Structures are given as C-alpha cells and as structure tokens.
Amino acid sequence: MAGTPDFDLYRPSEEHDMLRDTVRSLAEAKIAPHAAAVDEEARFPQEALDALVSSDLQAVHVPETYGGAGADALATVIVIEEVARVCASSSLIPAVNKLGSLPVILSGSEELKKKYLGPLAKGDAMFSYCLSEPDAGSDAAGMKTKAVRDGDFWVLNGVKRWITNAGVSEYYTVMAVTDPTKRSKGISAFVVEKGDEGVSFGAPEKKLGIKGSPTREVYLDNVRIPADRMIGEEGTGFATAMKTLDHTRITIAAQALGIAQGALDYAKGYVQERKQFGKPIADFQGVQFMLADMAMKISAARALTYQAAAASERVDPDLTYLGAAAKCFASDIAMEVTTDAVQLLGGYGYTRDYPVERMMRDAKITQIYEGTNQVQRIVMARNLP
C-alpha cells in the first residue's frame, strides 16, 4: 500500500555495509586530506575525482549494460553520504554525474545511452544538468533557451545558470524551448558536448560553500547538434526533468546527511578532548544534550533518506513526496547540526583551522539547489501520500 513503508526494502544489506566501509576508507585516505585546501583555494578536487575513478565510484548508478556498476539507489546514496562526510564539494562528483545522466537513462534512445553512459562509467567524462536560467529558477518552465529545428539538426541559443561542475564536465543535459506556445509541454531535452562549437562558460561563481565544485553559466551560441541528440520525444523534456529530480533530490539528502554526520563526528571528538573547569566539556549535561539532539536528528534524516532511496529504486507511487521530504528534512537538519557543531567548538569553531565552519557553509546550499526547501514543501503538499 502506498504510504506504508516496508522496512526491509530500505534496510542496508551486507553489501551496502561493505560498500560504506570501502568508500569511508577511500574518503578518509584520499579525499579528506585535501578538503581544506580545495575549499581555501576554491579549486576542483581533482584528487577526489582520481580516487573515485580508480575505485569505480564516480558514477555507480550507471547500469551494467553500459559498463557501469549497476548500483541501486541506496548504494548511490551511501557513496555520496560517505564522500560528503569529509568533503561536500567532492560528493558533487557522483551526485551530479547521476543528475546529468539520469535523463538519458530514463528517456534517452538506446544509441544515446551507449554513446554517453559508457564514458561516464569508465571515468572518461562527467555529466552536468542544465535546467536553471537567469530568469528561470524555481519557475523552471519559464526558461528562454531555445532550440530550433534545421533539417537533421537542432540549433540551441540561450544561457544556463548555476550549473554545477560546468567547464569540467564533458556532457550536459540541456533543457530548451522547442515550442514557445506550449510552456512546459514545449520544452525538450538534449545532450550537448563541451566541445560543440558555440559552447562556452562564464567565470566561476564566488560562493559561500562547496567552493571546490565549479558553478558557472553555460552559454549556447548557435550550438548546432544532430537531431538524434534529443533525449526522448519533442516536448517531453520538462517531464523528464521533473522525473529526474524526483530521484536525484535523494542524492542531495544524502549529501546533507554526510555533511551533518561529519560535523557531529568532529564535534564529538573535540568535546571529549577539550577541558574546562577541570574536566572534558563532554561531561557537561548541556553539551551532552546538544550531541544527543544532533545524533537523533541525523538518525531521523537517514531513515527518511533511505526510505526515499528504496522508493526511487522501485519507482514507488509516493516517490515525488518522499524525494522532496528527504531533501527538505535532511538539508534542514544539516544546517542545524553544523551550526551546533560550530557552537560546540566555541571560538575555534569559527575559524578555518577547524572543519566545522566549512561544513556549515557547505550545508547551506543543500537547502537551496535542486529546488529550494520552500518549493519542496509545495511539492510535498501537492503529493501527500
């Protein structure tokens, strides 16, 4: 029955637990040592990409048919969660690879899948998602980027904004208007390549957090692409985009979950070592209550996120609600927990010598992208189970 959870469907299996151990070890050894520098220098975390690719963890969601691991939605969540625990910027490598390529998986032709999913699975390319525009954020259907048919080609013109990993990714799923008279039903999806003539990128945005993941505008100036690069049928792009977000909002919940867990883990270790009034501050009830609340909220967010991942895997009727709920709840919790972690470290927490202030800055974006949490509440209200 829709709305009635079957807990066995989203309880991590032994294989999931082994995957978690593998990713955590890799993240702590190969990604964590560079996290502070990546943030400080606002540079792409190449070390993380190399480490993930070497272990085939950069795009575990790609089906085995196209050379991928064929991991389920919960496994993808675990990968993102464990990477985000040490470096939120790096977790956007597997997260955005799924976001960018899922439209092809959901709606693309067999030819498109073979052409673009193989290099993604091998680690030879990354995939980004181009939906938002300068004047089309929450109102994505109000986009102005156009695609005009010209024989066996489509010619794209427009600007996409807030594009994660832009300039690094080789492939871009681009939503564009093919029939201006039909609003959302006049939007189509295309695969655009970085090397296509007319594709260029704006300067990297100077952001509060996730500084290691480049966010740039993507400019499309008479970009001429073969007609077979359309994803699905003409006019189905917006529906594909929304269906994609139903699944990928769960990856943002996973990122938020990892950030929160990383902040709690660090704060827990700190309060056991920091002494005031002759004893560790972990002995004070006020501190203990803060830690208990942080852990409790993370546990609740994890349960909801894993439930949503199970719904994603079986395409549950309640997926739209659960994806929005997981993203909204986990990101709100991440903001609360990271703020409390900074508080527990006192003045030290406010400095860049300690990682919790970075985690607090990184957490904020999870309440904003892939639909603000205000929009998530609208989505939930319209899709109550």
The one-letter amino acid code at 215 reads: T
Report how far residue 172's alpha carbon sits from residue 175's, in angstroms, rounded to the nearest whole number: 10
Helix axes 285-314, 237-273, angle to 10 degrees: 150
φ, ψ (nearest 5 deg) of residue 168: -95, -40
Report how far residue 273's alpha carbon sits from residue 26's, in angstroms, rounded to the nearest whole number: 26
Closest residue by Cα to residue 77 from 53, 61, 55: 61
| Distances in whole angstroms, Cα of residue 20 to Cα of each of 10, 13, 75 | 15, 11, 8
Tokens of 210: 């996730």
Report how far residue 153's alpha carbon sits from residue 151's, in angstroms, rounded to the nearest whole number: 5
Tokens of 164: 């994660």
Residues forming a β-bridge with 347: none
34-50, pLDDT tens digit by residue? 999 999 999 999 999 99
| Distances in whole angstroms, Cα of residue 165 to Cα of each of 10, 237, 343, 378 | 30, 21, 32, 28
Torsion of CA 51, 52, 56, 61, to 10 degrees: 180
Residues forming a β-bridge with 225: 154
The answer to whether the CB of 282 falls within 8 A of the CB of 107 is no
Question: Which residue stretches of the chain are H helix?
Answer: 14-26, 32-41, 46-54, 73-84, 88-107, 110-122, 237-273, 285-314, 319-344, 356-365, 373-382
Q: What's the distance, CA 107 to chain centroid? A: 20
Catalytic residue flag (residue 357): no
The answer to whether the CB of 251 falls within 8 A of the CB of 92 is no
Quote the pLDDT of residue 8. 59
Which residues, other chains included, contact 304 with Cβ-Cβ below 8 Å and sequence gap of 6+?
253, 322, 325, 326, 329, 330
Quote the pLDDT of residue 87. 98
Report how far residue 82's alpha carbon sits from residue 88's, in angstroms, rounded to the nearest whole number: 10
Quote the pLDDT of residue 275. 97
Quote the pLDDT of residue 6. 58
List own/partner pairs for 181-186 with CB under 8 A and 24 or more apart.
182/235, 183/141, 184/141, 184/238, 184/239, 185/235, 185/238, 186/235
Higher pLDDT pick, 4 / 228: 228
Which residues, other chains included, contact 83 with Cβ-Cβ below 8 Å and sequence gap of 6+?
23, 27, 31, 48, 52, 90, 91, 93, 94, 258
Tokens of 51: 């480490």
**In the predicted structure, residue 54 carries a pLDDT above the cut 80:** yes
Residues forming a β-bridge with 219: 159, 200
Stretch among 2-16, 139-153, 334-348 having the lowest mean pLDDT: 2-16
Question: How much of the chain, in percent, has pLDDT values that exceed 90?
Answer: 97
96-153, pLDDT tens digit by residue? 999 999 999 999 999 999 999 999 999 999 999 999 999 999 999 999 999 999 999 9
Rounded to 5°, the CA angle 227-228-234 comes to: 70
195-248, pLDDT tens digit by residue? 999 999 999 999 999 999 999 999 999 999 999 999 999 999 999 999 999 999
Q: Do the strands 187-193 and 230-231 form a parallel or antiparallel pair, or are they unpaired? A: antiparallel
**DSSP conformational letter for 45:** -
Report how far residue 8's alpha carbon sits from residue 326's, in angstroms, rounded to the nearest whole number: 18
Mean pLDDT of the chain: 96
Please report how many Cα atoms fall inside a 13 Å half-sphere around the Cα of residue 333, on the Cβ side. Answer: 31
Torsion of CA 117, 122, 124, 130, to 10 degrees: 30
Quote the pLDDT of residue 11. 78
**In the predicted structure, residue 1 carries a pLDDT above the cut 60:** no
Residue listed under structure tokens 């702590």: 28
What integer is the mean pLDDT of 157-179?
98
